[in-house]
Structure formats: structure tokens, C-alpha cells
Structure 1
Amino acid sequence: MAKAENLVTSIHVDIDAPASLVWEVLTDFRRYAEWNSFCQGLETTGQLGDMVHMQVRIPGTDQTIPVNEYLVAWEPERLLSWEQRPTDENKDAARRDQYVQAIGPARTRYFTTDLFLGLNADTIMREHGAWVKQGFDQVARDVKARAEALHAQRQ
């Protein structure tokens, strides 16, 4: 069962760029290493149900860990989600949702959440929740910087 106390939510950022451009940044997976200091690599076909292979840097360290999840939501300019599913070898489970909300013709609000699920949810939150929050806050700042830079270049 999902519990509210196992939800990590990033800061909300308002971005001076249209939602279509923020969506472009989030779905240009090959360029993640150019702007995303938390998820320094991401490979996926972009098809629902397919794997999302990420390289995640633990904030404040040089340690990068592989994270493999499934793409579960693709709603252009609104929602991009993937989830980790439990296996026999690893009971960890989580769902990450990235929200894009147009708040004007050239303004967008962005934030992301991660809900830890399953048998290990409480332990994962206790042991990893703080650095996941740090990482997601940085992603929000990184998305803002990237989208605003691209928007300024295209003006």
C-alpha cells in the first residue's frame, strides 16, 4: 500500500518557456548528460512499457548507480512517468512522475515526485529519501535552466 510519508516531491519551478519546450527537454533523452546533473544518462525507446535505463549520480558524491525502470506514462506537455517494479531478486518498487503545467503561453511549472512502494518502501524512504529529494530539486533547477536557455536562443 502506498503511504503519503513515502512520497518525495521536488521543489516547484516556474520556467520562462512554453510547456512544449519543457516537454522537448524532458523527452530528448540522448541529451540528458548535457544538462541533467542528477540523471547523467538515460536510454529508452520512449515507448510505453519499455525499459528506461538511467545513470543516477548520488548528490554530493561522485558515485553513479544504474537504475532500470519501465516507462508507464507519456502525456505530451503534461506527464512523463516511469516505475521500478519488484522482482524475485529485488523487492524495491517506486513510481516517478514528472509534471509539466502550462501557466501561460511562455510559462511552465515543473515538479517531480517519487513514491516508494512495496515491502521496502519505509526503508527506502528512510535511507534514500533525503538524497532523492536533493537530486529531484536539482533536476527541477536543471530543467528550468535548460529550457530557458533554449527558449532564449530561439527568440
Structure 2
Amino acid sequence: MRLKVDLDTILKPWFRVLSLAQQSPPSWYRDRIREELQERRIAKSKLHKLSETSDVLFAISRARYDGFPVHKLPPFTIQHFPVYAYMLAKYSSRWGFYRMAAVLCKAPQYNLVREVVNPSKDHKLNEVSSRHNLNQEEFRRVGRRLRGFWPLLP
């Protein structure tokens, strides 16, 4: 059975919702893909491989969406469905996590908090709060609490 889906039908609206900041210089995208491919190569468990593969696809699709198509995405097939589904769930959850943390911290412009870095470590919470001029202590405290029940995928 062949599943024929145009990836742009799914990914373009999704990236519009995420509305992530475009990165500079353009080599940033190539560097991220290279890093993610390296992490994928050393992944051991099936879950870790799935997660790292989703990171590779995210890096490629983000570069493509931002206008720097440095690699081609694999087609959306039954074989790749779990990876794409995992990617959408993982990065949407992270995006929602940061948005909720900003709301709970009463950030005056919570809607400008658009992040997808892994919030499982305090230093990532600190980086995000710094980028958005939020109270670091408060944001970290709220982020730690949210991590206790927010559905974050590894």
C-alpha cells in the first residue's frame, strides 16, 4: 500500500504556527544538520534512533522552510510515518511548553516566545529566558514545575 502525502501540506502550516526565528548565518542550518546526523550515528536504542532521526528531519525541514534547502527530505511514506509523527509531536510539545511557561511567568509578550530547544535542562531554560528578557529565576522555577507533567519526548 502506497501512502502519497505532500509534505508541504503538513509542514508549511506547522512551521507557520511555530513561527521560529530565522537563523543567521545560513551555515547555521548546515551545521545543525551535521550535528544531528552525528548524534543519529551514535544513537543505540530504537527510541534514541527514532528521536535523533526526527531531529535530523526537523533540521532539514526547518532549513528548507526558512529558505535554505541544504538537503532533501525523505518522502512521506508508511516507513517514515513514525519519524515524522514523532517529530511533529516532539517539537510541538516543546513549543507549547515554552509558550505555557511564558504565560505562567506573566510575560507581557508571551506570544513572542517561540522556542523548540529541549527544556529538560536548566541551562536551556536560562538561555530561553535570556533571549526573551524574562526573569531567569522565575522562568526556571516555572519550567522545572512544568517538566514534572508536561508531555516532553526525549
Give the structure-1-normalised TM-score. 0.33
Structure with greater strand percent: 1
Q: Between Structure 1 and Structure 2, whose CA radius of gyration is higher?
A: 2
